[in-house]
Structure 1
């Protein structure tokens, strides 16, 4: 349990976002209070924030244009799947992780697992999608660099 100084409530560690600079690795404020503080800061400094963004764009518009072009090509699609296609796939899978069977509360909790040999990085062509996993299982596969050998070795290590 950790005390949030803003709302003065003791909350579970899961209620605090990560902060690598902090001694305990967590932000000082709970997620809810941090969200409110961010909104207040933006409201106070909106004009300056927008002016700085406009200045960055004016100084170097090419990265923003490239981002916009890429976004238009994939708008509404993640890994070649529209939100409705993802929901349909979740319905077929019973709204659970294909590895550990942990249930998904929302579609965003289902992470798209794809073959990085086909499409390295965070986006995929859609042809190499293997399934929908929870964050933990998807990260485990990614940390093992998609190697079944490494994953078998991990299982052997855990079973010792």
Structure 2
């Protein structure tokens, strides 16, 4: 008998064992369709990576410690401190439990902790104050408002653009 591996045998890159093929995760990007490491070695490498990043699994934490440090230069302590200074709510709208670090894209400085919508809104306006001011002007100009014209009598004030609200709204 020969000691050469069969076509169905695959050595693990990490431990160099030759476990059954069912002990490898599937990976369509690899030529053989399987991962290079056995499931046991892959799990050990994943656990070591978790410990290196502060022991917090990335899937369970909205702001993993390693990510905060790499991306914004702050740790969990600074994140919690910022959140406490804001009263535990979004710095813009006051929504509970904000999870997104807002930073200035030019300087990289962290400004606060925001909810998903406020953080995305600032990003859509590219942190440009003139764009935000233009949006406020637009909203004011297209919002119909009740105006008191006589005690107890109101009239809908005509905006600069837009249509009157439908009777059902």
Q: Of Structure 1 and Structure 2, which has the larger fraction of its residues in helix?
A: 1
TM-score range, shorter chain: 0.3 to 0.5
Structure with bigger RCO (C-alpha 8 Å, 6+ apart): 1
Select the structure of larger CA radius of gyration: 2
Structure 1 length-normalised TM: 0.47
The two structures have a TM-score, normalised by structure 2, of 0.45
